Structure 1
């Protein structure tokens, strides 16, 4: 077991921690790369804290890579604590990192955010769920995720559909049941997800639009 005081930002890492907050995104990217190359567990807090506020996608991705280079017994508990943050980006990025690390000890914290009020957090939770779901709980996960059918815009709905499809054939009975919902948005989303399951190369947007027209107008219209 690795025991590290991750709150120590001094010593040889002090300059690197400062550069992680530099004004220039290229400098921050290089600092994140350097942090991952060093793989020093003392940088855990600095990397997690930066994930919560980093505006640049590529820098955030490098921060996640750097966290994945550290011992899971250090990073996972710290990232799980971050799931309780009041900042949506902190929760979302922690979920993303946890999905990449792949340690199922994070499952309880991840599953608590499927219904988060912020779409970006919920989408990250759905993606992480597919990576971390305990064996044998796929059907229960499919039922839980299906309660979010019809939520959000096309991008949100596509994220949910992809997560459901990745669960395999356990999702089909759940989608069949959702297809009888009184809510036309839920019915349309379920139909488009079923189409995506059977034909991954199908255009989700077109399928969703067609299913929405049918769901709203009625099959006999």
Structure 2
């Protein structure tokens, strides 16, 4: 293929990534991932911020993982500061897939407490993956401060992130069990149960915790 032909193919692919049809966008993202080219990186990152279809976003992330980290990391890190929630969420998700420990450096307290649940969930998952040795207690405290927020899916994501940190969460979790807010206490109790018994379903754990809180059960450490 000549330079002119290659340039024309690049233009067609870039246009396909913005096509109105999701099937065309999906094929284009797959093609870019199958034949990585630095000229696609900026567009891939930009499309992640606005792509409405989950399965296409997932393919865009895969395509980005196929490119050199030296090209993708700076662009993704910049997107975590975007005003667009999807840009922040998807860039964090992609950072979790490229396996570069520098991702920890972009995980600000603002991201961990982002008002958008999807952004916060992506930040929690990424933080647990890349937390440096010795920083686990501080991360545990930051995550525990989010207990009680959001719907059931958000609460489950937070509990899973905390449980993945292990026993280091116990002091911060125990403090949350005595919090004045019933939702925080129930979420903390459910997370403690998941930590002690990973086979427990979250639905069972949270419903039991809510009953305990409603009945004024003692917020003591389980025996």
* TM-score, length basis structure 1: 0.91
Distance 1:18 1:80 in 2: 25
Within a 5 Å distance, the mapping from 1:52-201 to structure 2 comes to 52-112=49-109, 113-201=111-199
Counterpart in the other structure of 1:49: 46
Separation in 1, partners of 2:28, 2:104 = 30
* 5+ residue gaps, structure 1: 1-9
Taking only aligned residues, the RMSD between alpha carbons, in angstroms, comes to 1.4
Offset of residue 145 of structure 1:
0.7
Q: How many residues align?
A: 211
Offset of residue 11 of structure 1: 5.3
1:38 equivalent in alignment to 2:35 = yes
* 2:14 alignment counterpart: 17
Per the alignment, residue 4 of structure 2 pairs with: none
Cα distance in structure 2, aligned partners of 1:147 and 1:100 = 26
Shift of 1:40: 1.1
- Cα displacement (A) at 1:12: 3.9
Following superposition, the deviation at residue 81 of structure 1 comes to: 0.5
Deviation at 1:217, TM superposition (A): 3.2
Q: How far did 1:206 drift?
A: 2.0
Residue of 200, 211, 217 corresponding to 1:219: 217
Q: Secondary structure at the match of 2:28?
A: helix
Secondary structure of 1:44's partner?
A: helix
For each residue in 1:35-81, what CA deviation from the matched residue of structure 2 results, as whole angstroms up to 9, or x when unmatched? Answer: 11111122111001101111111111111111111111110110010
Structure 1 stretches of 4+ with a deviation exceeding 4 A read none
User: Does the 8 Å CA contact 1:96/1:128 hold for their aligned counterparts?
Assistant: yes
Q: Please give the TM-score of this superposition, normalised by the length of structure 2.
A: 0.90
Structure 2 CA distance for aligned equivalents of residues 124 and 26 of structure 1: 26
Partners of 1:170 and 1:218 in 2: CA distance: 27
